[in-house]
Amino acid sequence: MNFFNLLKSLDELLYEVMSWLVFYPITLWRTLVRPLQMMDYSDVEQGDAADQQYTDTLSPPLFLLLSLIIVHAAEIALVGNNAVVTSKVGLAALVSNNTDLIILRIVMYSLFPVMMAARMVRAQGLQVNRDTLRAPFYSQCYTAAVLAMLLGGGVILIKLGHDWSALAGVALTFFGLLWFGFLQTAWFNQHLKCGRLRAFGHASRAMVESLIAMFVMSNLFS
């Protein structure tokens, strides 16, 4: 790569990174006020050519990653480094810095999109493969990002150690899970054209599977 190609690559990288300052708030606002519509929007975008996808928002996985980075930065600023980073016991020894912790967290929170997507594909009577799983997984990343911010915010409040913050943290955590569960019920109801009770069953099963997998992974690295 010659010098001019390097400059061009840096130019494109700088523009991409700085554009996040514009498109992250847009994506967050739309996901907060119209989560189901954003999930439908992601499904439509998956049908476009790769260079035409998500031109006016962030892609769902990138939105999830940036949301986790923001929560992580808030945690460091308010309560300091997570104990997993400093621990050298068991698998926690593999997490030696904050970058490793962010990678671990994106894997953990991606459990929600992949479990929800797999349940949807199975409920539709389709074979679970890379093609059928992609669209629902991407759409689920939008809401998983908001869930990560709510749960992460709840944990930060609890770690502050005040009575009021602990209560607020628990309340925020439960609100996040209830919000996510209600939204998933509506999502299954919309896509499967089934009754709300059946949709609630699919959403509950996928949520329980996600939480169990997340709990197991958390304990392995704690």
| pLDDT score of 120 | 96
pLDDT above 80 (res 103) = yes
Q: Is 136 exposed, middle or buried (0-12, 13-18, 19+ CB in 10 A)?
A: buried
pLDDT at 1 over 60: no
Name the token pair of 95. Answer: 């997490």
Mean pLDDT of 40-67: 92
Mean pLDDT (the chain, rounded)? 90
pLDDT at 107: 92
User: 61 pLDDT band (50/70/90 cuts)?
Assistant: very high
Residue ranges per domain, the chain? Answer: 59-221
pLDDT at 7: 59
